[in-house]
Structure 1
Amino acid sequence: MKRIGFLSFGHWTDSPHSATRSARDVLQQSIDLAVAAEQIGADGAFFRVHHFANQLASPFPLLSAIGARTSTIEIGTGVIDMRYENPHYMLETAGAADLISGGRLQLGISRGSPEQVIEGWRHFGYAPAEGESDADMGRRHAEVFLQLLDGKGFAQPNPRPMFPNPPGLLRLEPHAPGLRERIWWGSASNATAVWAATMGMNLQSSTLKANETNEPLHVQQAMQIRLYRDAWTKAGHPREPRVSVLRSIFPLMNDMDHAYFGRSKSTDQVGFIDNMEAVFGRTYAAVPEVLVSELAADEAIAEADTLLLAVPNQLGVDYNVHLIESILTQVAPAMGWR
């Protein structure tokens, strides 16, 4: 069995060819897609977070709205750029979203991706400490966030508060029990995957990764996942970790599918991103029986317990429901995932 969810980047553009022409369109359609995905049996609704872009940004209002409209589907992010985050305020908003959803929040966090602006985190009031890189700062913010999630008191109470305090040091509220075990780190390298394991976070691996061995993406990701699991075991964490991989998968079921994705490239690409040589994963687009054969050879999907599907949100809710349902009904059973 494998959990199957979707990941939306939340693009919008004022174009007659786009079903999402405004931020309002994206937000409302994201809620509708999550509701529909739950109804057809999907396991997760995840959303990308970008700043200074025509894409989804601050995720917690959206996640809270989805949590209030659904009852079983996991809701989460992939990923929140921790360079931009105040861990204390983030804890409060994440806690509220998790409680609204009944404990279904799955938060993917990371140091982030290439930005729309130069050092955008400075506009949010953050700067690396002396000797730190911006990536170091993101990991530091993440470590503070994880400590706060433990729910231990750390703040000295006012002796004359507006409202009575419980005894001892105070923690931030609302506290969301169990959320600490539902934090994921989005890793683009073997080293950060190992670090995530030592920190007790689940692992998210995307459709790109640092090109560390010149092998296909799925082979490098599979090794990354094995290194992560080995580090998890060595760290002695008491629970089993979770691992997700992201893929672009398009079953060609009708003329519209063929028109949109019938000519999609089917090979990995190597390029540079943030001064890092990276391998970018292929797009899987074929009739279901061919997809089953191709996906069976993907070593990283085999290693992961969760598969996230990158959805083309600008094609609208109905098309994306069709896409997800095609995978759930035509591909997943033949793969042994359902």
Structure 2
Amino acid sequence: MKKIGFLSFGHWTPSPQSQTRSAGDALLQSIDLAVAAEELGADGAYFRVHHFARQLASPFPLLAAVGAKTSKIEIGTAVIDMRYENPLYMAEDAGSADLIAGSRLQLGISRGSPEQVIDGWRYFGYAPGEGEDESAMARRNTEILLEVLKGNGFAQPNPRPMFPNPPGMLRVEPHSEGLRERIWWGASSNATAIWAAQLGMNLQSSTLKNDETGEPFHIQQAAQIRAYREAWKAAGHTRTPRVSVSRSIFALVNDTDRAYFGGSGEGRDQIGNIDEKTRAIFGRSYAAEPDALVKQLAEDEAIKEADTLLLTVPNQLGVAYNAHVIESILKHVAPALGWR
């Protein structure tokens, strides 16, 4: 059994070919798709966060709105860029959204990907500390967030407060019990996956990974997941961690599907550089008739290792079509693979 959700980047463009032509469209359609996905029986609605781009950005108003409109589906991110975040303010926002959603948040966070502008986090007022680079800053912010989410008091109370304080040191409010165990780290390397395990975070592994061995993407990703689980066990955590992978998967069940994705062929991994130093491997897309798709997915080692699969959706094709994409996987593919 696997949890199956969708992942939307929330792209929008004023082009006549897009059904998502404004930021408002992207936000409102994201809510509508989450509602539709819940009705179809999907397990999760996840959203990507990019700054300075025509995509979804500020996540917590959207997460709270989805939480208020749904009742069962998990609501998450994949991922929030921790170079841009004040961890205490983030803890307040996350606690509020989680309480609105009834403790259904699954927050994916990470160091983030290359952005639209140079050092965009500096415009938000953040800068690495002495001896840090931007990656170390993101990890430091993450460690602060994780500590704050435990709910322990740490702030000295004012002896003459405006309102009465509870006894002892004060914590960030509102606090949502259990949210600390629903934080995920988006790891592009084996080392950061191991680091996430040591800190007790769940693992999100996307369709992009550092090319560390030259092997096919799904083989490298499966090895990363196994290394993560070994590190989790060695750290002595008592709960069972969760692991997600993201894939672009399209079951071709009608003429519209074939028109959009029928020319994708077998698909293959791609190699590229995400910055001057890092060689990355990008996982293939899957698009085929359901029977062929089942056979292809059965050979994906990383999907086998994960307990959660996130389907990346072409959000600019509209809510109705994306609901159809999700339903096609749930109906025609998941049962044949034993996921349902």
TM-score (structure 1 length as normaliser) = 0.99
Which of these residues, 315, 318, 339, is aligned with residue 316 of structure 1?
318
**Which residue matches 1:295?**
297
Once the two structures are superposed, the pairs formed by residues 186-197 of structure 1 within 5 Å of their partners are: 186-197=186-197
Which of these residues, 316, 326, 329, is aligned with residue 328 of structure 2?
326
Give the whole-Å Cα distance in 2 for the aligned partners of 1:87 and 1:28: 27
SS at match of 1:263: helix
Once the two structures are superposed, the pairs formed by residues 30-41 of structure 1 within 5 Å of their partners are: 30-41=30-41
- Cα displacement string for residues 187-212 of structure 1 (whole angstroms, at most 9, x for unaligned residues): 00000000000000000000010000
SS at match of 2:53: coil
Letter in 1 for 2:128: P
Give the whole-Å Cα distance in 1 for the aligned partners of 2:217 and 2:110: 20
**Which residue matches 1:269?**
270
Give the whole-Å Cα distance in 1 for the aligned partners of 2:124 and 2:28: 26
Once the two structures are superposed, the pairs formed by residues 239-258 of structure 1 within 5 Å of their partners are: 239-258=239-258
Letter in 2 for 1:2: K
- Cα displacement string for residues 293-328 of structure 1 (whole angstroms, at most 9, x for unaligned residues): 000000000000000000000000000000000000
Letter in 1 for 2:75: I
SS at match of 1:137: helix
What's the CA shift for 1:274?
A: 2.0
Give the whole-Å Cα distance in 2 for the aligned partners of 1:304 and 1:112: 21
Once the two structures are superposed, the pairs formed by residues 146-295 of structure 1 within 5 Å of their partners are: 146-264=146-264, 266-275=267-276, 276-295=278-297
Once the two structures are superposed, the pairs formed by residues 126-145 of structure 1 within 5 Å of their partners are: 126-145=126-145
Letter in 1 for 2:259: A
Give the whole-Å Cα distance in 2 for the aligned partners of 1:264 and 1:117: 31
Give the whole-Å Cα distance in 1 for the aligned partners of 2:275 and 2:249: 26
**Which residue matches 2:3?**
3
Letter in 2 for 1:234: A
Once the two structures are superposed, the pairs formed by residues 95-110 of structure 1 within 5 Å of their partners are: 95-110=95-110
- Cα displacement string for residues 194-253 of structure 1 (whole angstroms, at most 9, x for unaligned residues): 000000000000001000011111000000000000000000001000000000000011
Give the whole-Å Cα distance in 2 for the aligned partners of 1:216 and 1:263: 22
Q: Where does structure 1 differ by over 2 angstroms across 4 or more consecutive aligned residues?
A: none
**Which residue matches 2:112?**
112
**Which residue matches 2:125?**
125
**Which residue matches 1:70?**
70
What's the CA shift for 1:334?
A: 0.1
* 1:92 and 2:95 matched: no
Gaps of 5+ in 2: none
Give the whole-Å Cα distance in 2 for the aligned partners of 1:107 and 1:249: 23
SS at match of 1:168: coil
SS at match of 2:334: helix
What's the CA shift for 1:130?
A: 1.6
Give the whole-Å Cα distance in 2 for the aligned partners of 1:36 and 1:129: 44
Give the whole-Å Cα distance in 1 for the aligned partners of 2:153 and 2:221: 39
SS at match of 2:248: strand
SS at match of 2:98: helix
Letter in 2 for 1:270: I
**Which residue matches 1:48?**
48
What's the CA shift for 1:264?
A: 1.6
Give the whole-Å Cα distance in 2 for the aligned partners of 1:159 and 1:252: 66
Give the whole-Å Cα distance in 1 for the aligned partners of 2:264 and 2:245: 20
**Which residue matches 2:80?**
80
Gaps of 5+ in 1: none
SS at match of 1:278: strand
Identity of aligned residues (%): 74
Give the whole-Å Cα distance in 2 for the aligned partners of 1:274 and 1:224: 21
Letter in 1 for 2:208: L
Give the whole-Å Cα distance in 1 for the aligned partners of 2:275 and 2:328: 35
TM-score (structure 2 length as normaliser) = 0.99
SS at match of 1:78: strand
Give the whole-Å Cα distance in 2 for the aligned partners of 1:302 and 1:86: 36
Give the whole-Å Cα distance in 1 for the aligned partners of 2:200 and 2:331: 34
